[in-house]
Amino acid sequence: MNLSGKTIVITGVSSGIGGEVARLARFRGASVIGVDRNDAMLSLDGFIKIDLSNPTAIDATISKFPTRIDALINAAGVPGTADKDLVARVNYLGLRHLTESLIDRMPKGASIVNFASILGGEWPKRVEQHKKLAATTSFAEGQAWLSDFPVPQETCYQYFKEALIVWTMMRSNALFMKRDIRMNSVAPGPVFTPILGDFVTMLGQERVQADAGKMKRPALADEIAGPVLFLCSDDARWVSGINLPIDGGLAAVYV
C-alpha cells in the first residue's frame, strides 16, 4: 500500500485511532496534516487546531488547509457520555461541514473516510429519519431539524453514527459520479483507546459482558489504521459508498 505523494488530512489526530492512522500514513509515504482541538503529540507535516463543534471556527481555518487534499479521514468524535448536542455537532454536523468545505480542494481519485461504528449497525430501522437529516444543507439547518426531532441522550451516539453511515452512502454517489471522489465509512468495534471506558459507561455492564463473550478482545488502534488507509489508496479506486466493519467479526455474530 503506497501512499507516496499523497496529502492526507486526519481529524482527531491527537489521540487514539486518529494518531495511529497518522503514524501509518506517514510510514507509507504520505504527508499528513492533523486536525484536533487538542495539541498534537506526534510528528506531523502540519497541524490545524479546530473545535469541530463550531462551524464558525471551522470556516475560519479553511484557508489553512492545503490547496490539494488527496484524502480526508474523519476520525474525530466524542463518546455518548457527552451531551447529546455536542455529540450531534462533532460526530455529524461538524464532520459534514468540514468535509463539504474541503471538497473543492480534492482532485479526481481522492478519498474520504468517515468513522462510524459497529453501534451504527441498526441504521435501516431509522433510515427515513436519517435521510431527512442528510437532506439538510447546512450546519444550522441540521441543528434546526434536530431541534424539531430531538434525539434521546441515551442513544445519541448510536443515532449519529447511523446517520453518518446513511449520509456517507447518499453523498458518495454524487461525489463519485461527478467528481471521481470516493466516500466510504468504517465501523470499528470496541477499541483500546482513552475513551473505551466511556463506552462501557454508555452501554452498561450487561451489554458489555454480552459482547465480551462473542469477541476475542477489543481491537488495538493500529489494527484499525490499515483498512482505513487502504480505502485512501489507489488500490481501492473502485470502492465507494460502503460501510466497512473493522470489528474482529463481532457484527457477524448478530446475524
Name beta bridge partners: 187.
Answer: 245
Mean pLDDT of the chain: 94
For residue 194 the three cell numbers come to 482513552
CA distance 241 to 239: 7
Kindly report, residue by residue over 33-52, the tens digit of the pLDDT: 999 999 998 999 999 999 99
What is the rounded average pLDDT of the residues 210-230? 88
DSSP string, 7-23: EEEEESTTSHHHHHHHH
What is the rounded average pLDDT of the residues 135-163? 97
Nearest alpha carbon to residue 118 among 183, 215, 23, 36: 215
pLDDT-above-70 percentage for the chain: 95
Q: So what's the pLDDT on residue 199?
A: 62
Is pLDDT above 90 for 194?
A: no
122 burial via Cβ count (<10 Å: 0-12, 13-18, 19+): middle
> CB under 8 Å to 104, separation ≥6 — which residues?
none
In this prediction the pTM is 0.94
Q: So what's the pLDDT on residue 205?
A: 67
In the residue annotation, 157 being an active-site residue is answered as yes
Q: Give residue for cell 473543492.
A: 104
Is pLDDT above 70 for 208?
A: no
CATH of 7-239, one of 3.30.300.20, 3.40.50.10490, 3.30.360.10, 3.40.50.720: 3.40.50.720
CA distance 227 to 229: 5
As separate numbers, helices (DSSP H) first and strands (DSSP E) second, the chain gives 10, 9
Q: So what's the pLDDT on residue 160?
A: 98
8 Å CB contact between 193 and 220? no
Kindly report, residue by residue over 51-84, the tens digit of the pLDDT: 999 999 999 999 999 999 999 999 999 999 999 9
Q: So what's the pLDDT on residue 68?
A: 98
Is pLDDT above 80 for 202?
A: no
